[in-house]
Amino acid sequence: MIRTIRERDLYSRQESLPLGIPSEAIVVGAGGTGTWVALFLAMSGVKRLHIMDFDNLELSNLARLPYPESEVGKLKTSALLTLLVDLRPELTVECYDRATDMNLALAQGEFLFDCTDNVGTQTRLFEHSKKNDIRYIRVGYDGLHITVTSMPSGFTTDEDTVGYTTTPSWVVPTVMAAALGVYKAMLAKDTEVSGDIGELVRPRREEAGEPNPLSGNALSLVNVGRAIETLREPSSTYIPIGSPYTGGHGVNVWTDTPIIPEEEEESDEESES
């Protein structure tokens, strides 16, 4: 990607990271997760964004979105456009009022970030991405539960079915879900995350003289980057809540290799010798 002198200075501290930054991306849904996904993409250096949403900003949205109260009543896409261009004047932003088939055909991108809560819409966006060789990433939250996946939710195509059940909303899981979605796109494409934030991130216990129950493939507060790279697409191993492999706490993750406690690994090596 060709950068100006200003852009080289701007992104100099992330150049050493193996980031796969797309030049163009599509974000459907400019609410809680969609706004933060677009911000993280723009701040990472994406050159062009296509943003789709029909809704207006409400006062309750500002509890999890970085807008002043003067923006209430405006289209979410319009408010987001202003914010993005203020941060990155060189960014090109295309806004659409709905994710219609025509608008999706006009929008181009290596990734489509699905930040909607409608199961029928998610299914349609997934099928569009699959047909047009676009990488689909669904980013969402349900109360304190966050989801980042390459699959739509549910199995119904009912356009009236929403994909969440909990009305409480908080900025922290909103931002965490968006950050993990962009992480999946740029660093770990096979990452799949589904769980309450309390299950995904816990403080280490060694510092308090106790063994850490969440080691290896589970996420810990001080080692999120290494641990999250062990989360893969659904395959041979599923670790449910309460699994003994995660100290009884459990996390909703999928891995492509069986997870075995360290002591069992050692015993297997001894038996082979």
Residues 180 and 214 in one domain: no
Among 147, 166, 189, identify where a domain stops. 189
Identify the domain containing residue 207 by its residue range.
192-273
Q: What is the pLDDT of residue 198?
A: 83
CA separation for the pair 23, 46 (Å, rounded) = 5
* CB contact at 8 A, 146 and 231: no
Q: What is the pLDDT of residue 270?
A: 47
The helix (H) or strand (E) run that includes residue 253 is strand 253-255
Among 162, 189, 216, identify where a domain stops. 189
- Kindly report the backbone phi and psi dihedral angles of residue 159, in degrees, each rounded to the nearest multiple of 5, phi listed first: -65, -15
**Residue ranges in 11-114 assigned as alpha helix (H):** 32-44, 76-87, 101-106
Residues 144 and 254 in one domain: no
Residues 152 and 217 in one domain: no
* CB contact at 8 A, 254 and 235: yes
CA separation for the pair 53, 206 (Å, rounded) = 46
Residues 184 and 77 in one domain: yes
Strand ranges (DSSP E) for the chain?
Answer: 24-28, 48-52, 92-96, 111-114, 135-142, 145-149, 193-196, 237-239, 253-255
3 found inside a domain: no
Q: What is the pTM of this model?
A: 0.74
Whole-number Cα distances in Å, 155 to 29, 124, 159:
20, 12, 12
* CB contact at 8 A, 28 and 101: no
Residues 220 and 149 in one domain: no
What is the CB neighbour count within 10 angstroms for residue 95? 17
Q: What is the pLDDT of residue 210?
A: 52
CA separation for the pair 27, 35 (Å, rounded) = 9
Total count of domains within the chain: 2
For each of the chain's 273 residues, which pLDDT tens digit applies?
Answer: 557 888 889 999 998 999 999 999 999 999 999 999 999 999 999 999 999 999 999 999 999 999 999 999 999 999 999 999 999 999 999 999 999 999 999 999 999 999 999 999 999 999 999 999 999 999 999 999 999 999 987 533 344 545 555 567 899 999 999 999 999 999 999 989 999 988 876 555 545 555 544 444 334 333 344 444 444 334 333 333 333 333 333 334 443 434 344 444 444 444 444
* CB contact at 8 A, 63 and 37: no
Residues 158 and 177 in one domain: yes
